[in-house]
Structure 1
Amino acid sequence: MFKKYPILKWILIVFSSIIVFLLVFGWWFMSLLPIEEMGTDLSITQTFDLPYLSEDIQPSRGKILAIVTSTATMGNTDKSTGYELTELSRAYYVFQANGFEVDIASPLGGEPPVVIDDDDMGKYDFAFLNDSIAQHKVKHTIPVKSINPDVYEAVFFAGGKGAMFDFPKNKAIQNIVRNLYQSNKVVGAVCHGPAALVNVTLDTGRPLLENKKVSSFTNNEELLLIPDAEEIFPFLLQDKLVAQGARFNEGATYLEHISYDKNLVTGQNPWSTWILAETMISALGYTPKHREITAEENAMKVLIAYEEGGTQKAKELIKQISTVENKPLARQLIAVHSVVAIMKGSIGRFFNLISLTSYAKSQSKNI
């Protein structure tokens, strides 16, 4: 057959070569990941296992309100949604560790829908699932219409795509934001959480967002994950914030990034939650309690160093974190961003990030 159709021979050779290459590359790619560490069972983590929560207890400093979405599906689709667990759990524990009692509310009250992304779950997130007090609060959320804003020092809006549907037009949410902001208290929101701000009008008659420096989930981030987002959501969040007069502050795709404008603190995506919550503590007038930076946050620092200074700068930071400071570094997160690069069609970036993942492995004491 090959003599009659020689082109088939070459097609078979090329096809087989591609398959072999992909298998070898896939095996090599997996070898870069800390499989043993990734397989560690964190699901049994309790709050007393975390020194940040169990030691150096801070004095009571008042209450912070956390608000999550009640929306379970995205618009007219069958795509499920809810609040992002990691965005609530991490902020919740930062507030608690710094002396604040946290109440949790939602537009409808009761038990809201939750999104749990197994790949993003860390020890604090599992501790939250095992925390009987936190779980009682999140399964019996207070309806926002029942909230008295005067008893809170700050409000925090967790993200989750459901927030795009039930935050913007909720009058009770608008009243909470207006009351706290005009009382010089702190308003914080992360990822899709800033959807709570888009229709807030101050007593002056001007939009809250007018001329404010603000971050949120960006158009690029939204459309990369959901190409038909403009049809599914009532608006793209970045566009809506800008339409309300905000000075949109966009960071690199899926990297930690926040904006801090007086008593308004906003974050771009889930990876911004730690620093956003601690910035809220600073805005309240306190020095945030010391917290050991997580392996994922260290990986974020490396990725930001790459964005700002290139491969060499990122390698220097990897060596500093892993070898000099002997701190944990989630190199699998760097690998994930190499996949994002492929999704964006950036081949050069893909290979650079793969190189950084390999270098991080070489610097790790637990290769």
Structure 2
Amino acid sequence: MPPKILVVLTSHDEIPGVGPTGWYLPELAHPYEKLHKKTTITVASPKGGKAPLDPGSVKMFSEDPVCKDFLSKEFIWSDTKKLSDMNEKDFDAIFYVGGHGPMFDLTKNPTSISLIESFASKKKLISAVCHAPCVFLYTQDNTGVPLISGKEVTGFSNAEEDAVGLSAAMPFMLEDELGRVSGGNYVKAAEDWGVKVVREKSSYGGWIVMGQNPGSAGATAEEILKVLGA
């Protein structure tokens, strides 16, 4: 049987005072291209139903052939499962797709936190890309230690957030918080928008995989496949 992956999308569709947001197109399109033939994928979101696709990402990646093809597969995100109905026992791994939306509805989401902690406690793969590593900030092991404490972490950098002009609109700066919770172990690519993927073991012994930015999404999926042996 192929490994089963729970893919989680945001349900948040607007940045206050800025405009529409959601999940970011290449951060699902490129992983899906690599994962769907070797794994069984279930897609969920906090609210269930249609998960909002960031329209800016559609425009930004309009010439990306993988993204263009993926847009024809709207069934993947048009009727997502409700996150609260998902159970760790049914999956081998969990993967969170980025976009600015997760910063607002997944960082402190108790259902998400509980689910991640359950996966981690069973030594199952937990993973996220770009802004989505925010989902790990409030997760802990059974001793109360953050799952990413002392671990090398990555995610959308301050410089990248500044470059897209949304630093002032964010509830916090992801690089800063990942660095704080991990104990100063945030890392990033040598150049802005460069590919960076980190793979660490949580205190339970299971793998944590994180990618820095949209360009790291495909490489994050490749690392997920390596961990799963798929």
- TM > 0.5: yes
1:84 aligns with 2:28: no
CA–CA separation in structure 2 for the residues paired with 1:265 and 1:158: 12
Counterpart in the other structure of 1:241: 178
Q: Deviations over 1:155-213 (max 9, x none)?
A: 11111011110111111111111111221111111100101111111112111110111
Conserved 8 A contact 2:153-2:182: no
Conserved 8 A contact 1:112-1:139: yes
Counterpart in the other structure of 2:211: 267
Q: Deviations over 1:311-360 (max 9, x none)?
A: xxxxxxxxxxxxxxxxxxxxxxxxxxxxxxxxxxxxxxxxxxxxxxxxxx
Q: Which has the larger radius of gyration?
A: 1
CA–CA separation in structure 2 for the residues paired with 1:90 and 1:145: 26
Question: What amino acid maps onto 1:120 in structure 2?
Answer: F
Cα distance, 1:119–1:168 mapped onto 2, change above 3 Å: closer
SS in 2 for 1:187: strand
Counterpart in the other structure of 1:180: 119
- Report which of the two has the higher share of strand: 2
- Report which of the two has the higher share of helix: 1
Percent identical? 29
CA–CA separation in structure 2 for the residues paired with 1:245 and 1:268: 15
CA–CA separation in structure 1 for the residues paired with 2:101 and 2:52: 9
CA–CA separation in structure 2 for the residues paired with 1:234 and 1:78: 13
Question: What amino acid maps onto 1:77 in structure 2?
Answer: G
CA–CA separation in structure 1 for the residues paired with 2:13 and 2:193: 24
1:191-270 aligned at under 5 Å gives the runs 191-226=130-165, 229=167, 231-246=168-183, 247-251=185-189, 252-262=191-201, 263-270=207-214
Higher relative contact order (CA 8 A, sep 6+): 2
1:118, distance to aligned residue in structure 2 (A)? 3.1
Question: What amino acid maps onto 2:46 in structure 1?
Answer: P
SS in 1 for 2:47: coil
Counterpart in the other structure of 1:354: none
1:35-54 aligned at under 5 Å gives the runs none
| Structure 1: runs of 5 or more not aligned | 1-59, 287-367
1:141-152 aligned at under 5 Å gives the runs 141-152=80-91
SS in 1 for 2:11: coil
CA–CA separation in structure 2 for the residues paired with 1:268 and 1:62: 24
CA–CA separation in structure 2 for the residues paired with 1:123 and 1:250: 26
Conserved 8 A contact 1:160-1:193: yes
Counterpart in the other structure of 1:168: 107
SS in 2 for 1:261: strand
Counterpart in the other structure of 1:69: 10
CA–CA separation in structure 2 for the residues paired with 1:123 and 1:245: 36
Length-normalised TM-score, structure 1: 0.58
CA–CA separation in structure 1 for the residues paired with 2:136 and 2:83: 15
Conserved 8 A contact 2:50-2:79: yes
How well do the aligned residues superpose, as a CA RMSD in angstroms? 1.5
